[in-house]
Amino acid sequence: MKKTALITGGSRGIGFGIASALAREGWNLIINGVRPEEAVQEPLGQLREHGVEVTYAQGDIGSNEGRAAILEVVHKTVGRALNLLVNNAGVAPKVRADLLETSEESYDRVLDTNLKGAFFLTQAIARDMVATRKEDPQFEAAIVNITSISATVVSINRGEYCIAKAGFAMLSQLFAARLGAEGIPVYEVRPGVIKTDMTAAVTEKYDKLIAEGLCVQPRWGYPEDIGKAVASLARGDFPFSTGQVIMVDGGLTIPRL
């Protein structure tokens, strides 16, 4: 029986890179996004070309109703627990505002999606994973959280994003500690500067910084870089490493003189 993974925000950017890597390894997929299904037929079709089942679950993880809609699709699709949850969905601030000008509206929007939504979706799916493993100890399950170097690297013009990612890193530690005895590993993958639609508006800025030595490896990261890391974790290549942070940042966060 093929394993099934839910990837939030899986129809574009880093999420699609992860979905593609898992599809190549034979995983059936549930792809979550906020766009209508008819708007994501192209990426879903590309994933199906790998010979796997791909189901779409529309819903905003930042809302209770959105999470309920996602979980309904999950339960209809797998009948029991997922083998893998990849918490990837996230939003950037609509406006990169100075820390002294950050609005409460922007703060709530970013935190609801990037942190609150991930917490309560993980909680619900982890409950199913725990219950299923009690019935069948051979059932394999894992959780991978996609955070960001912004969990520790300060950007004062998008403070709400940094706060959300720092909280998300702690979420990973908390669930790793809670689920360790249940045999469910939890990992954090922490990307650096990745070329996606989220970074499109700051391409020129980062082109210059990378050329000036921002990263040890002098290039942008790509969604497939994240996909390869998640696929390795999903295979179980790191069975005794729950709670660990996998850096995929080209060496950006290495302290250098």
Tokens of 169: 């890193």
Whole-number Å distance between alpha carbons of 213 and 219: 9
Point out the catalytic residue in the list 56, 107, 161, 222: 161
Residue written as token pair 């809302």: 63
161 counts as catalytic: yes
In 3D space, the residue among 96, 80, 68 whose CA is nearest the CA of residue 138 turns out to be 80
- Provide the annotated active-site residues: 161
